[in-house]
Structure 1
């Protein structure tokens, strides 16, 4: 949907905002941290998570996912397979990296003990992937595309009416 670099940035900001908010809430709930950490600590986690997610989406995961999708799809005019494959690639990439961030945060907060680093990472990755994929495919992705499409249509209508 985004056609220009500026539109890609806005689209990425919208997508990251939605995913980071929901994934942060999900992780707070699954780790039993609601009510145990302060609002400011949650806010700091949201901000830091958003910055990391946006940088990863913009410079690492997004470009790689785009290359994978365009190399796998023969019919690039078919929107639904492109959207689903892009969402799948983005979720796999983002969950891979953001689970590392989650693991580092958990170790920093001393909330993980006992199991090996790999075992803890795999557990975090699996829990996040199971939640993130349907969240992206069914809620955040369609909502962001709808809002972005309306904003883009309004801008086109404004530019047409001023001409």
Structure 2
């Protein structure tokens, strides 16, 4: 897990980018709208929104909830699963809203579109985060910590 602010920012960035890329790809395929132009056209704005939501809204709340759950906090795996699950729930809550607003705007069908998007996104995002993105990004973070990538000083 991240031990410094720099590591935390690095970890948040790689997890957020990986999830936005994967979920954008998933949603475009799911709705029969995949093209590289659509994917890359929405990737940067989606990443910016997701990153800001993660850093300023979801992360602190998700961690508070995870630490309040009746789990064995001494077991690292239990804490990883609790925090990751709470993060996914929060991010799916907000990013599904973002996706519906971007695709359809605020129409009278907003709630039905939102419910469908929330369920479809949660079904994909939770296992994606717990089984693939989370472990891969934690491995990248661990390698960076071992090799001191984030703490090396520039040579002039």
TM-score (norm 2): 0.89
CA distance in 2, matches of 1:149, 1:2: 9
The 3 A distance-change label for structure 1 pair 55 and 87 is same
> Per-residue deviation at 1:3?
1.3
Asked if 1:120 corresponds to 2:113, the answer is yes
For structure 1, list consecutive stretches of 5 or more residues without a partner in the other structure: none
Which residues in structure 2 correspond to 1:1-163 (within 5 Å)? 1-35=1-35, 39=37, 41-73=38-70, 75-108=72-105, 116-155=109-148
CA distance in 2, matches of 1:105, 1:116: 14
TM-score (norm 1): 0.85
Runs of 4+ in 1 over 3 A off after TM superposition: none
* RMSD across aligned positions (CA): 2.1
For structure 2, list consecutive stretches of 5 or more residues without a partner in the other structure: none
CA contact (8 A) 1:73 1:82 kept: no
